[in-house]
Structure 1
Amino acid sequence: MSKLVAIIGATGLQGGSVLKTLYASGKYRIRAITRNPDSDSAKALAEKYPGIELAQADLDDLVSLQRAFEDADIVFGMTDWNADIIARNRKGDLDAEYKQGKNIVDAAINASVKTLVLSVLDSLSKQSKGKYSDVTLFETKYKAGEYLLSNSDKIDGFTICLGAYMDNFIRAARISSEDSHTIEFWFPVEPTLRVPLIDTANDTGPVVEYILDHPEECRGKVQDVSCGYYEIQDMINAFTEATGKPARYVKIPYDSIPLPEVVQMYKCIEEFGSFCNRTEFIERNKKMGHKFTTPVEYWKNRGWTGPTQ
């Protein structure tokens, strides 16, 4: 019988990409884990991928996770720095997201899962030698990854680290107040800053599949998920090339960003780089047999031509 993979976040970008890839491979049975299996998004998922299971779990509830992982051979896990986590951080619970990641690990171990692939981020505090130590969305994910790897005697753990979401450029887009035909992309860093970009929905799953197919090669080394390093301006130029619409970069002041963690994140990346400046993933990408999405392809595939207001 084929192995059963339980996927957290199956209705989102990361988990959805893993589901799409592993389902298409035909090698696995799929269990999609969601907070509400009766939601429209969960029902749409079951209709799109006939034969998958739906299971309910809450990342704050260890028992529900353990139940959702029952009989699974493999788990894909992730956590999200969402509005709920931010609110809990503001109330002093800085480990809220870490505790969710730890629950995923503990539940997988308790359910005798053999393999766990966990989505994490680098420690910016470690990378900057303590200069930028308050970026909770990075530190908590890093800490969860370290917890997973510290339990290597109980579970075969692997970590992936995603680059900058290309989708974030949509959130940064504005219609120019000077010319309604021009799209502006607002960021607080220089347009020449090089970052590892990722089309999350299309390119996360193939890396997870590669890990499952090549465990000896991937064990003990974080697997970065990116199509490559690009300047921010490259993504904006790609938008114009793909859509024909004029676009320009606008540098905004740091004090216009309401979240101090995000300010520290940008400052650290400007000063110390992304992915701890790792490049090993570039060679791995070449031998994967998967075509990673380029910036121009992303805009063409997305079909998005700018905000409506």
Structure 2
Amino acid sequence: MKPVRKAVFPVAGLGTRFLPATKAIPKEMLTVVDRPLIQYAVDEAREAGIEQMIFVTGRGKGALEDHFDISYELEATMRGRGKSLEPLEPTRFPPGAIVSVRQQEPLGLGHAVWCARDIVGDEPFAVLLPDEVMVGQPNCLRQLVDVYERIGGNVVATLEVPPEETHRYGVVDPGKRDGNLTEIRGLVEKPAQGTAPSNLMLPGRYILQPEVMQVLDRKEKGAGGEIQLTDAMAQLIGTQPFHGVTFDGARHDCGEKVGFVIANLALSLQREDMAPAIRAYLANL
């Protein structure tokens, strides 16, 4: 069983739900408290033992690479003023630890993951959707890695949602359950209202075997006329072990405005330097 050393971050989306904020700034650079969304996902991956981060980008996404590069002018100015460079430490990586590849057409999440096939090679790999900020101890990907190291195969995060919301997500057809571990018998992408096989959805954290790239190579279109990652994963079921791990923690959907605002509020209330002032403000409301 090979270790999970690489993670794919699909970050080519246009972020139209946040216009005009995302007209000139990648949506992944929108900040929750004091870190951009991409930083939360990368920090999660690094804490889970990932060694190489693979960004699948598009036009106008150069700020993502700049964020994890050395900024000579900024650092020189901070040193000259006697300021600590500690806030920049999470953005520092050795050469080759962060690489990027272009998704030249917006053909779906499955296509974005497929664009990283040559970098992934024949190794198992993680996929993290930066829109989803997952907060837990240990973090979400670490929980998946712990299960993967025990049982192997494909391991994905799951969460329970109200049945009336299942049509918005990829949904699990569950088999045998053992605590937070669920055998996956099938996957359905955005099932019609009232037809979902369960209320277990996929919140955007995956550990997949490299064979999924061979399925994605067929470029079969699914829901919305796009190449869906969920559909490709479903085709592996029965040929490889496939399990879901119900995430023990909080999920913030920062792909839409209400979730983004709630994430800022929830995470700022966990900060000792901010929480008292914010609680006082909320009390006044």
Shorter-chain TM band? 0.3 to 0.5
Give the number of the structure whose residues are more often helix, by fraction: 1
TM superposition score normalised by structure 2: 0.36
